[in-house]
Amino acid sequence: MPKTVVITGASDGTGAAAARLLVRDGHRVVAVGRSAAKTKAVADELGVHHFVADFADFADLHQVRTLAAQLADHCPRIDVLANNAGAILGDRHVTADGFEETFQVNFLAPFLLTNLLLDTLLASQALVVQTSSNAARLSARVDLDDLDNARNYSPVRAYGNAKLDLVLFTRELHDRYHEQGLSAVAFHPGGVASNFAQTSRSPVGTLFRTPVPRLLFQSPQKAARQLLWFVTPTPEECVVSGAYYENGKPRTLKAPPIGPQLWEATTALLDLNKR
């Protein structure tokens, strides 16, 4: 059965590849991207609707709120929300909203978008798919007293922390709303030969500006197939709501059980009404 899939980060890389495969399989896609020209090009190619929101270098979170309102008006039903946009940045930078940039782009933005669309997602008994990273397992530590990474900052640690926040958020979505029909998963897509991190002011960005990713990493199309599996799993397998996946399998992360506290802290930071 065709599904309505909203996918962020759809102007390039894995997001654009996933949009193409989803449309090929007969699904209704709404593409969201940071570049107006690239997003329109992908949308025109596929004949789908699109919205522009900068999920890689926010000046403020107003764009997320505007996007949520646009999606609520355009999509009476959302079967899948794919929070795919993200970025690894460089030196510590505080946005106009007063948040550390990596934390805002990779965690606060998808948290806010998901919560603003929650009524539609619940009514649709939707699936939320979060593109995380194995950095959540390898280089992360959630500190509720330092969510903004003010202490011992590094680009990789800040990115890993935000992606671990995203995994904890995924579990909490499951715990709070699965009985009402909402499901949520997070996954690590693996190394992808894309434009990811090419503008990053970090050592990872330096790596992505070399030929190495093109030689060693998987194609965006292969990474996109992982996302598609969550949308339409095989009859023999099922999506485990609340889980974090690597290589197509649920994987346990050693993280403190602070999902509820993180949720409440984030809700307060974003001045969201508690649900």
Inter-CA distances, 220 with 98, 152, 214, 230, Å: 33, 33, 11, 16
The DSSP letter of residue 179 is: G
Q: Judging by beta carbons within 10 Å of its beta carbon (0-12, 13-18, 19+), is residue 273 exposed, middle or buried?
A: exposed
- Residue 159 bears catalytic tag: yes
The residue from 153, 159, 177, 244 that is catalytic is 159
Which amino acid is present at 93? H
Q: What angle do CA 163, 242, 170 make, to 5 degrees?
A: 35
CA-based torsion, 91, 264, 117, 186: positive or negative: positive
Q: What is the DSSP string of 86-144?
A: -----S--B-TTSSBHHHIIIIIHHHHHHHHTHHHHHHHT-EEEEE--THHHHS----T
Who contacts 73 (Cβ-Cβ below 8 Å, separation ≥6)?
none
Q: How far apart are CA 101 and CA 33, in angstroms?
A: 18
> Is residue 150 a contact partner of residue 105, using CB atoms and an 8 Å limit?
no
For the beta sheet containing 249-250, the strands, ordered from the edge strand earlier in sequence to the opposite edge, are 49-52, 28-33, 4-7, 80-83, 127-131, 183-188, 244-246, 249-250
Catalytic residue set: 159
